[in-house]
Amino acid sequence: MHSHPPAKVPDRATVTAHPSGDKRFKLLDVTIKRHQARQDALIEILHKAQELFGYLEDDVLLYVSRSLKLPPSRVYGVATFYHLFSLAPQGVHTCTVCTGTACYVKGAAQILAAVEQNVKIHAGETTADKQLSLLTARCLGACGIAPAVVFDGTVCGHQTAESTCDRLKEWLEGK
């Protein structure tokens, strides 16, 4: 019986380069190494990945999964749970309508319906010209100013269907 030396297990902070050679993966590696490939740094690492790639495509999620030694289902679960992460390319502008209880009671459904009718896309979609992505969030934590809508990362409270559609019209007309 032959005895083989134990296989050398790479250090958790050692991350292999992505086979595509895409330099953004090297930049992501810097963040992974800074967090010592700790699994509890998943959210921070996903934020950096989205910043670098614009959205979290499958290849990026699998890379993070392998780098942190996490099951792909866990990485995907986190990426789909938080509304700030996107699994598809986003438009130049993003509009996120809060559909949490307080916002819903104060008119979020009417806002969303008006926006969908005006811009001819549904929640989760991007206009054909890639100018606008329409998203929803379960709760933004802005219940005191319900209904809330996020325009390009800025939370705006006490929105109406009219105020929201007016803002989007300005964007789409290039103002």
Taking the alpha carbons at both ends of the chain, their separation in whole angstroms is 77
Q: Which residues contact 67 (CB under 8 A, 6 or more apart)?
A: 15, 29, 32, 37, 45
165 labelled binding-site residue: no
Please give the helix or strand (H or E) that residue 126 lies within, else none.
strand 125-126
Phi, psi of 12 (to 5 degrees): -60, -30
Element (H or E) spanning 151, and its range?
A: strand 149-151
156 in a labelled binding site? no
Q: Is 143 annotated as a binding-site member?
A: yes
80-84 long-range contacts, Cβ below 8 Å, gap at least 24? Answer: 82/43, 83/135, 83/136, 83/137, 83/138, 84/47, 84/50
Smallest CA-to-CA distance from 37 within 19, 14, 6 is with 14
Binding region: 98, 103, 139, 143
Q: Which residues are annotated as a binding site for [2Fe-2S] cluster?
A: 98, 103, 139, 143
